[in-house]
Amino acid sequence: MVQTRKVNLLELAKGAIMEQVDNESAKILSNILDPNTDATKARKLTITVTFKSDDKREFISCEAQAKSTIAPVMPITTKLLVEQDMEGNPRAMEITRDDPNQVHMFEETEPEVNVLQLRSVK
């Protein structure tokens, strides 16, 4: 007689299903700790188990897959001021806290300006 014991579904395939669940859970936890993602956005762990029997209903193929849905990286935004240079080519300057058009009282140094040089479209 065959010796039987009850096992959890996640223990099948020598624990490979549980290993997938653990790996995807680690991805979710890392994503939650990532300061570039929305802390309050929900993350998901989906485990899909597919059972398929042969035509005689004697054997069942069991396939399992764990998949995580994590929060995307938050977009980075900035503001650009667009103008034309002396030759008529467009350029954009990044507006930062040190606005180049703002009068700086009691400062002797010029603020740094990031300029994005663009080619003219004709």
Q: What is the per-residue pLDDT across 43-95, written as a single tens digit (0 to 9) for each? A: 999 999 999 999 999 999 999 999 999 999 999 888 888 888 888 888 888 87
**58 and 14 co-located in one domain:** yes
Residue at 16 is within a domain: yes
Residue at 47 is within a domain: yes
Number of domains composing the chain: 2
Residue 28 predicted with pLDDT over 70:
yes
Asked if residues 47 and 24 have their Cβ atoms less than 8 Å apart, the reply is no
Helix (H) or strand (E) holding 61: strand 60-69
**59 and 95 co-located in one domain:** no
Residue at 1 is within a domain: no
- Overall average pLDDT of the 108-120 stretch: 61
Cα distance between residue 93 and residue 111, in whole Å:
13
Per-residue model confidence (pLDDT) at position 101? 60
Torsion of CA 33, 34, 39, 43, to 10 degrees: -80
Query: Given pLDDT bands bounded at 50, 70 and 90, which one contains residue 107?
Result: low
**What are the CA-CA distances from residue 64 to residues 15, 16, 23, 49, 61 (Å)?**
11, 9, 14, 4, 10
Per-residue model confidence (pLDDT) at position 65? 96
Residue at 74 is within a domain: no
